């Protein structure tokens, strides 16, 4: 009997508790950051997090391997974090 590896998708964003306009500010910041993101990375983020497509399906769409898609999603999250943390976005 062979061992079976299972992979669990990490959460897209941590659980954040916001009150009042902070939620709207966060949404607006994410929207602005996504607009500055590379179109390929923006498409991956949209497919995976907004449309809940599995990585295997996205890999077939873009004709890439699952590890490539996972790495690209990691880069997209890192870039979004950077864009949202710097005032004014890109530098």
Please give the angle made by the CA atoms of 68, 72 and 74, to the nearest 5 degrees: 120
Interhelix angle 66-85/21-36, rounded to 10 degrees, is 120
The whole-number pLDDT of residue 10 equals 53
What residue segments make up the domains of the chain, in order of their start? Answer: 38-85
Contact (CB, 8 A) for 37 and 76: yes
User: Token digits for 11?
Assistant: 């959460």
3-state secondary structure of 3: coil
Query: How does pLDDT run across 16-59, given as a tens digit for each residue?
Result: 454 567 778 788 888 888 999 999 999 999 999 999 999 999 99
Task: Look up the pTM and report it.
Answer: 0.69
40: Cα separation from own chain's centroid: 11
Identify which of 71, 76, 16 has the alpha carbon closest to the alpha carbon of residue 45.
76
């Amino acid at each position: 009997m062979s061992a079976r590896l299972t992979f669990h998708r990490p959460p897209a964003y941590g659980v954040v508790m916001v009150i009042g306009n902070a939620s709207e500010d966060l949404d607006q910041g994410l929207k602005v950051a996504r607009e500055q993101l590379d179109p390929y990375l923006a498409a991956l983020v949209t497919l995976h997090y907004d449309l809940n497509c599995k990585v295997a399906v996205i890999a077939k769409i873009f004709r890439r391997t699952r590890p490539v898609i996972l790495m690209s999603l990691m880069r997209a999250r890192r870039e979004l974090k950077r864009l949202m943390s710097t005032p004014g976005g890109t530098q």
